[in-house]
């Protein structure tokens, strides 16, 4: 099998397509969560801790020069926003999986059909029962 035909077989598998769809939806969901954290959750938290924009918290290592450029800082407020976003995504995924497990009933495996000889013996038994007075 050539490299390209092997790659085509790999790329056209159903699970690869499902994964690609999941990544695209996940990226869109990430934007929603970012907006939720930055615009809905963090402003009240910032208000409670003194009315400061939480994402603006930083530890300045090297201050900016006279031209306003060259600042080196650790943006721990933005990092905390990211941690909160991760927690929200993890909670949302947990709730979706929990809901799916509750809604989707696990299908029990159908019992295997009886063997051919068992079916034949059952038919013979039923015929003998019918012949008895």
For residue 106, the model assigns a pLDDT of 64
For residue 109, the model assigns a pLDDT of 57
Strand residue runs (E) in the chain: 59-62, 72-74
Residues lower than pLDDT 50 in the chain: none
Q: Smallest Cα–Cα separation from 89: which of 101, 79, 97?
A: 97
Whether the pTM exceeds 0.95: the reply is no
For residue 111, the model assigns a pLDDT of 75
For residue 53, the model assigns a pLDDT of 67
Residue carrying the six token digits 């939480």: 54
For residue 81, the model assigns a pLDDT of 80
Dihedral Cα 89, 94, 99, 104, nearest 10 deg: 110
For residue 105, the model assigns a pLDDT of 66
Domains detected in the chain: 3-108 (1.10.1200.120)
Q: Smallest Cα–Cα separation from 52: which of 34, 76, 84?
A: 76
């Amino acid at each position: 099998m050539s490299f390209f035909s092997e790659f085509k077989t790999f790329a056209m598998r159903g699970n690869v397509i499902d994964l690609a769809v999941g990544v695209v939806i996940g990226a869109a969901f990430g934007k929603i969560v970012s907006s939720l954290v930055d615009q809905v959750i963090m402003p009240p938290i910032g208000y409670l801790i003194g009315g400061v924009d939480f994402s603006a918290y930083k530890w300045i290592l090297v201050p900016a020069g006279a031209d306003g450029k060259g600042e080196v800082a650790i943006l721990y407020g933005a990092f905390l926003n990211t941690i909160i976003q991760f927690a929200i995504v993890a909670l949302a995924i947990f709730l979706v999986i929990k809901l799916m497990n509750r809604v989707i009933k696990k299908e029990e495996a159908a019992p295997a059909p009886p063997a051919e000889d068992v079916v034949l013996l059952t038919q013979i038994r039923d015929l003998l029962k019918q012949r008895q007075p």
